[in-house]
Structure 1
């Protein structure tokens, strides 16, 4: 199956390396609005360079869209109108209006569309994914050192949206209420943001994202009735502290025994799941391929990408309201 790559900037080049590593995909070629950059990348990786997006589209069965977010809708529209399969990087579109138009086109096109929320494929998350059941409280910190690349969008759409997607996938309940605050320090949009998301089922998620930190951090802590789960997306490590079922008590000599004020004894067990050495971007591009050939639901379908964008934009709206009150 032939896939064309649109956009060969920093992330696009990473996608290209991954696609060339996946035998299931054949790279038909690349296209970039910057013709000089496209030529340079084409020569470096030995792939065909298309002079227009239409040429790439005609020569491909599927398109991997890694262009600036402001261009997503128009290019994605062309892909869906041509009834070609689409992998589209996050955020799915620049505006919610564009995202909803894309949903209508998708419903008519009868093709596969997957959104690039790559943390769903992070091996640290995959190692504990099946153990996340009815979380009650989630806390996430996604901190990055300052980098001028990406400051054209708010940190909510650049960084926090990763955690929004993971939280929505883990909680599986409608959002009830969102509170948020943020501060623009270096750029024209908020560089550090905190958001509290409350769900109808009672779950609460507290998310913090910053692009002006002294060190990197991409960590999520999940608290549920029988376990505490920690996922480090950066170091690709996970930890689980779980309550030992009554019929299993006393079997693990390393279990921690605790007695509460009522005299009830509980056993806690610590585990560090084995992490498989996976390339998350390769895994998401493979899953996209298999959803096409097996005619199965995409791992991160378009609706999930739109839901994350809806929450992100509501967070931005709450920040704007708070800032206007301060000013």
Structure 2
């Protein structure tokens, strides 16, 4: 088993702590550290683990460090862990700035240590259920809506919520970004609370994303349109649906799913609707375990530090586009 230490035991940190405990076949939890010593002591007592007096002490005792601290501290903590010869799991976003992310990429390469970024939606059952389904979207539409919560409003909704979908879109489109247009507005906080972005890729694919943290209901949906299929992902309900159109005499129509006849100008065709099974999973536990397997097998991390950089880079381009668009708007008359 790999010796793992947890840095940051706030709301999300406690969830990670429980998941590390569940991943007992691959991890041995050596202890925790938090800048709030009282909080760390309280959590250590509650979960019967050791609270270390400093991050350096914990890093020295571990092989893997799980970083669940505020984004503003990610660069410093991850750098310290890598310099301490540890592999790292760090919650999204990777860092506050691209310069910090670039430095960590170089450091991880020199140290020959893996860094996995916590883009947890990669492990959502709705996405995993697609399995061997060929995904080559021409158009992607994503809506991520959340009810207002003051926690997380220190950054814009792009880094708070949209970045989840940016990582998914970059993975699915599998192409370099050619153009970004975006608009947004701050409603209840000092940074944009709702943002819409249009992303064009070099391969011709287009993505339209909306993220809001001032909605009256929660929604996390991604829709993919491609030449041979319409794919719907409900990341909140953890369900997926694949709809295809086949010729009536086509071979290879999947047995699973439902078929509906359709008369078209091209003759009789069949609509095939499939809802791939998606069993319940603990996504955070799964992503933490995937890092352990990558370390053991000498393989790249499931969500690499480079993936984290690409998502952060696109988030920055969107934030810049929002800011530029706001500068062009006329100021309201007082």
TM-score range, shorter chain: over 0.9
Deviations along 1:214-256, one digit per CA (max 9) or x if unpaired, are 0000111111111111111111111111223622469899522
Question: Could you say which residue in structure 1 is the equivalent of 2:295?
Answer: 292
Deviations along 1:102-159, one digit per CA (max 9) or x if unpaired, are 1111110101110100000011110015324211111111000000100001000010
- RMSD over aligned CA atoms reads 1.6
Question: Could you say which residue in structure 1 is the equivalent of 2:3?
Answer: 2
2:246 pairs with 1:244: yes
Question: Could you say which residue in structure 2 is the equivalent of 1:228?
Answer: 230
Deviations along 1:164-223, one digit per CA (max 9) or x if unpaired, are 001101111000101100010000000000001100111111110000000000111111
2:274 pairs with 1:271: yes
Question: Could you say which residue in structure 2 is the equivalent of 1:34?
Answer: 36
* TM-score of the aligned structures, taking structure 1 as reference length: 0.96
Task: Report the CA distance shift for 1:248/1:101 in structure 2 as closer, same or farther (over 3 A).
Answer: closer
Task: Report the CA distance shift for 1:251/1:264 in structure 2 as closer, same or farther (over 3 A).
Answer: farther
Separation of aligned partners in 1, 2:255 and 2:319: 50
The answer (yes or no) to whether the contact 1:249–1:267 under 8 Å persists in 2 is: no
Task: Report the CA distance shift for 1:38/1:203 in structure 2 as closer, same or farther (over 3 A).
Answer: same
Separation of aligned partners in 2, 1:9 and 1:49: 14
Pick aligned residue for 1:155 from 154, 157, 165: 157
Separation of aligned partners in 2, 1:90 and 1:43: 28
Question: Could you say which residue in structure 1 is the equivalent of 2:23?
Answer: 22
SS of residue paired to 2:151: coil
Within 5 Å, which residues of 2 pair with 1:28-67? 28-67=30-69
Question: Could you say which residue in structure 1 is the equivalent of 2:304?
Answer: 301
Question: Could you say which residue in structure 2 is the equivalent of 1:202?
Answer: 204
Separation of aligned partners in 2, 1:271 and 1:167: 22
Separation of aligned partners in 1, 2:72 and 2:319: 17
Separation of aligned partners in 2, 1:80 and 1:252: 47
Question: Could you say which residue in structure 1 is the equivalent of 2:169?
Answer: 167
Task: Report the CA distance shift for 1:7/1:266 in structure 2 as closer, same or farther (over 3 A).
Answer: same
Separation of aligned partners in 1, 2:44 and 2:230: 47
2:258 pairs with 1:257: no
Question: Could you say which residue in structure 2 is the equivalent of 1:187?
Answer: 189
Task: Report the CA distance shift for 1:266/1:59 in structure 2 as closer, same or farther (over 3 A).
Answer: same
SS of residue paired to 2:280: coil
The answer (yes or no) to whether the contact 2:257–2:274 under 8 Å persists in 1 is: no
Question: Could you say which residue in structure 2 is the equivalent of 1:13?
Answer: 14
- Unaligned regions of 5+ residues in structure 2, if any? none
* TM-score of the aligned structures, taking structure 2 as reference length: 0.94
Larger displacement relative to structure 2 (234-243 or 18-27) = 234-243
Task: Report the CA distance shift for 1:104/1:251 in structure 2 as closer, same or farther (over 3 A).
Answer: closer
SS of residue paired to 2:272: strand
Q: Number of residue pairs matched?
A: 326
The answer (yes or no) to whether the contact 2:257–2:272 under 8 Å persists in 1 is: no
Pick aligned residue for 1:115 from 117, 139, 154: 117
Task: Report the CA distance shift for 1:132/1:154 in structure 2 as closer, same or farther (over 3 A).
Answer: farther
Question: Could you say which residue in structure 2 is the equivalent of 1:102?
Answer: 104
SS of residue paired to 2:130: helix
* Moved beyond 4 Å, runs of 4+: 248-254
Separation of aligned partners in 1, 2:226 and 2:173: 11
